A and B are shown apart, each in its own frame.
Chain A
Amino acid sequence: MEIGIEKTARRGFVLFTDYAQGSAIKKAIEVGRENVLFEVRDSKLKGRGGAGFPTSTKWMITAAATAEKKYIVCNADEGEPGTFKDRVLLLEYPSIVFDGMVIAGYTIGAEYGILYLRAEYTYMYTALLDYLDNMRKNNLLGKDIQGKAGFNFDIEIRLGSGAYVCGEETALIESLEGQRGEPRNRPPYPVNTGYMGFPTVVNNVETLASIPHIVLKGGEWFRNHGTDKSTGSKLFSVSGDCDRPGVYELPWGISIRELLDIVGAQNTKAVQVGGASGVCIPKSQFHRKLAYEDAATGGSIMVFNESRDMLKVLHNFMDFFVEESCGQCTPCRVGNERLLEGVEKLINGNFTFSFIRNLKELGYTMQAASKCGLGQSSPNAFLSILENFSDEIYQSKGGSHV
């Protein structure tokens, strides 16, 4: 797809490999939905958006539900700072994403697929529509797909309107229903009561993109990559102070240091793993592994070298959350504002240690008591930067104010 944006998919062994459009759909029809479900379960594939919920569990609940309609929603509201893997997948490998959606629809018995594309990616819209048209022509979408009687599935693209929180699955559904993108109370979960009240599977772009390869090569093959708890490959969106930023497909379990070597990072002071809602890891912990069981991430890797002021970085993150919180629940709406004030006080050197201690405690409350993942993860950067870079922060900002 030609949009005028530089291609930055680098290396790869699962997603970034050759794939013949429609081949996995044919295979899926051939083996039947139970076997697809078995392979997905066997692959131990977990949600690639960051939360890491087992994909097969979502699928099984929805597949078992009896409902007039079911939906499969592909979450392309990639808003996490430092993440751009969905952009690369949709621009450079759309076949696996859409084939993955079709296979998901086949497996759970859904006839409707929705791609929720973030407003910032509107430039892809027309090209993706053309792509879907092409799929229809090739009988990869529409009625009786690939000759399978009764297998009807089509995909609609809905655009977002610029709200980070809509990446949260229930907020995304609210947005699809024409509401403010405010996360819902859970339970009920979307797999039971989702879009328009129907059972809905919401999967990340990368999760769905993994499906065709799992179908073709088997769950066991997929599981042989990565670690026990984090199977398969992961797309890492690398940005910041390095020579070769871009999207890297690497096995789960790679250490941060290994990754830094691959991307050409020198004099690295810190790595923010998981975007603004992730944690900031100092040099002393670069041996840590990128995996659900250690340093979990939706793929965002931001590299900061020695010249960077971590407080300024943190200020940028907190500013982001103050704006992007949906404003619904107290811990997130007010809590992020208070944390931002705290960072400003730290920058000005106008703080007391007891106040900072209170803010840290507040951070734990926000992690526990916020309504959705946004508020639950927004204090991560604050807590980890204050924990890991306290020397730098307090030295330069004068402990004398205590």
Chain B
Amino acid sequence: MSKAKENRAPVSQQSHKIEKPADPNSIGANITIEINEKKVSVPLGTTILDACRQNQVHIPTLCHHEDLCIAGVCRVCAVEVEGMRTLQAACAFPITAQMKIKTSTERVRKARRHIIDLLLSEHHGECYACVRNRNCELRNLAAEYGVDGFTFGHREKKMHEIDRSSYSVLRDMDKCVLCRRCVRTCIDLQEVGVLEAIGRGNQTRISTFMDKPLSEVICINCGQCINRCPTGALFTNDPSDDIWRAIDDPTKHVVIQTAPSPRAAICEEFGMEAGTSLTQELNTALRRIGFDKVFDTNYTADLTIMEEGTELLLRLKKALVDKDPDVKLPQFTSCSPGWVKFIEHFYPDCLDYLSTAKSPQQMFGALTKTFYAQEYNIDPKDIVTVAVMPCSAKKFECNRPEMTSSGYKDVDYGLTTRELATMIKEAGIFLPEMPKTGFDDPFGEASGAGLIFGATGGVMEAALRTAYEIVTGREVPFENLNITPCRGFEGIKQASVKLEGCVPDWSFLEGAELKFVVAHGTANARAVMEMFKRGELNDVQFIEIMGCPGGCIGGGGQPIPTSPEIRQKRAEAIYAEDESLPLRKSHENPHVKYLYEKFLPEGPCGHKSHELLHTHYTKRGSFIV
């Protein structure tokens, strides 16, 4: 698929390649235009939309999304440009010459109103019973333009069955407004290629290959399409009714684990600015809802580091000491279920390079129904495990047939940040008001290393903090343990650490340079895999891949909307929380040490941990039957 990128995306749906001047202060770099009779200066090539936004002129949009290329299909952003016969789409019009723009003439207002009316005429909106009730962009537009009736009619009957085939992503095409954000997300942003516009004219629809159900095509369940859908046409498979039932059932012992990314983002569901972690408030709320125990997924993130880090060191030892020619290096991380399904579909021959360590969610489930059940003397059949995740693919992951190493379904339900917020509201709780409480034992204490799993580069940083110290006996040589080369939203990051002064056990690594690569979003993952297949990554030992842009904080189960800015704030919240914790390294987690002493005496990657904490993968391939 290496050629895919250059050949594929329709030019009509790409942004214009207007070359912006290198020096923004050079002559001709800026251009003076008039917006609503006010003179403003903008850089050459700026779109009308951006120019207006920079000058506090609001233009409504629907098909436009900051993460995606320009489409110009909904036409809601129509504006008048003096001298042009027709209205222009502000989102798609680059300013290359002097022009006079009017954004609120009678013609513009009427056109926008008409377009909204037209969209509503095709939209089977049951707004009061829609998951996107509170943050539907179509609904907001209708309110903004004072739509108070269905001028051009309204679709009363459902025309399409909801596609409920997937464990993760559901599609209700009656609510689709054909903005094609999901198409641009699936094909351009993630390069998965499941959703496309099918048909022509009034038969146009968004669909899959041969209109098959989502479970039968190569969907990786990343849910990025959901995050960018303006309406309720795409949504997650919500298990909250089953969870309520379990909570209400006195014979069930319901435990919940919370991942760091939902904790850093759930504030947005309660009207707060992005970037406030409500970890401890959430603990209280979950107890009030009725969960019997509230655990911290970061605990098994620490455990993942122990297992995955040990696995890496063992592979290195095999390669360097035993000179085993078959050892699979570099080792790829396996925490992100979207990425795992991606590699199973598109690079099935490379599965041996994936770490066999389960994701923190699944390690958690396996331990809850074994170690925890044993320690607290609870019959595992009565335990219901719920995982709060930023992720829609986690729902698919917990339903994988191999995820039953406890003898039961290890994790019963994957719950997204959005779904949990609804449960909290349903329970009559306003989250930000909650008093702060801690997590429950035995999975209550976790390190900052486990916490930063939420952002791209986090797993790498956590692993380095531990691996470096195991090998050299010293802390990683970065100020305050902040391994900055791992951080940031650059698509593909490469860096290295030199191992010097190794302890005797690891002396074979003396002087070696540990090279690593970090990528996020499956488009970047694809690029990394192509580099790998071309042999460009032969000297790299460890590669971290997260399926979603920005890592888990940008996951498909996170609050809507999403944008680079919002993801940045969530990441900052996570890094700040890490720095505030006394415990920053996974191997120093006393509860993890206790687990190994008490339950997994052979240590990381021992026999029992292989049974409980490691998994295998399926060569799915990309052929659709």
A interface vs B, CB < 8 Å?
163, 170, 173-174, 177-180, 182-185, 187-188, 193, 197, 321-331, 333-338, 341, 358-359, 361-362, 364-365, 367-371, 376
Nearest opposing residue in chain B for A179, CB measure: B10
Q: Is the CB of A182 within 8 A of B94?
A: no
B interface vs A, CB < 8 Å?
7, 10-12, 16-18, 70, 72-76, 78, 86-87, 89, 92-94, 96, 107, 110-111, 114-115, 118-119, 121-122, 151-153, 177-178, 197, 199-204
Given A185-B16, A327-B199, A361-B110, A341:B73 Cβ within 8 A: no
Given A184-B12, A338-B118, A368-B87, A331:B201 Cβ within 8 A: no
Which chain B positions have C-beta within 8 A of A321?
201
Q: Is the CB of A369 within 8 A of B86?
A: yes
Contact of A322 among B16, B78, B122, B202 (CB under 8 A): B202
Closest CB of chain A to B180's CB: distance in Å?
A: 8
Report how many A-B pairs have Cβ atoms within 8 Å. 135
Nearest opposing residue in chain B for A354, CB measure: B151
Q: Is the CB of B73 within 8 A of A331?
A: no
Which chain B positions have C-beta within 8 A of A187?
16, 93-94, 96
Q: Which of A179, A185, A321, A364: most chain B CB closer than 10 A?
A: A185
Which chain B positions have C-beta within 8 A of A341?
153
Which chain B positions have C-beta within 8 A of A370?
75, 86
Q: Is the CB of A327 within 8 A of B87?
A: no
Q: In the complex, A310 Cα to B55 Cα: how many Å?
A: 50
Q: Which 7 A-B pairs have the closest CB atoms?
A: A327-B204, A184-B12, A185-B92, A334-B118, A365-B114, A369-B111, A185-B72
Nearest opposing residue in chain B for A163, CB measure: B200
Contact of A325 among B16, B75, B153, B202 (CB under 8 A): B202
Q: In the complex, A376 Cα to B10 Cα: how many Å?
A: 22
Q: In the complex, A371 Cα to B201 Cα: how many Å?
A: 14
Closest CB of chain B to A370's CB: distance in Å?
A: 7
Q: In the complex, A177 Cα to B12 Cα: how many Å?
A: 11
Q: Is the CB of B202 within 8 A of A327?
A: yes
Nearest opposing residue in chain B for A323, CB measure: B201
Contact of B115 among A182, A197, A331 (CB under 8 A): A331
A-B contact list, 14 entries, CB within 8 Å? A173-B11, A179-B10, A185-B72, A187-B93, A323-B201, A324-B200, A327-B202, A328-B12, A328-B73, A331-B118, A333-B204, A336-B202, A365-B110, A369-B114
Which chain A positions have C-beta within 8 A of B115?
330-331, 365, 369
Which chain B positions have C-beta within 8 A of A185?
12, 16, 70, 72, 89, 92-93
Q: Is the CB of B12 within 8 A of A170?
A: yes
Q: In the complex, A295 Cα to B122 Cα: how many Å?
A: 35
Q: Is the CB of B197 within 8 A of A180?
A: yes
Q: In the complex, A371 Cα to B92 Cα: how many Å?
A: 11
Beyond the given pairs A185-B12, A333-B201, A371-B72, 11 more chain A to chain B contacts, judged by CB atoms under 8 angstroms and listed by A's residue number, are A177-B10, A182-B12, A183-B12, A184-B10, A184-B12, A187-B96, A197-B11, A330-B73, A337-B122, A359-B152, A371-B75
Q: In the complex, A156 Cα to B17 Cα: how many Å?
A: 28
Closest CB of chain A to B183's CB: distance in Å?
A: 11
Q: In the complex, A369 Cα to B105 Cα: how many Å?
A: 13
Which chain B positions have C-beta within 8 A of A336?
201-202
Q: In the complex, A183 Cα to B75 Cα: how many Å?
A: 14
Which chain A positions have C-beta within 8 A of B73?
328-330, 371
Nearest opposing residue in chain B for A183, CB measure: B12
Contact of A327 among B75, B86, B121, B201 (CB under 8 A): B201
Q: Is the CB of A361 within 8 A of B114?
A: yes
Q: In the complex, A117 Cα to B203 Cα: how many Å?
A: 25
Which chain A positions have C-beta within 8 A of B177?
330
Contact of B11 among A177, A322, A371 (CB under 8 A): A177
Q: In the complex, A177 Cα to B7 Cα: how many Å?
A: 9
Q: Is the CB of B202 within 8 A of A337?
A: yes
Which chain A positions have C-beta within 8 A of B70?
185
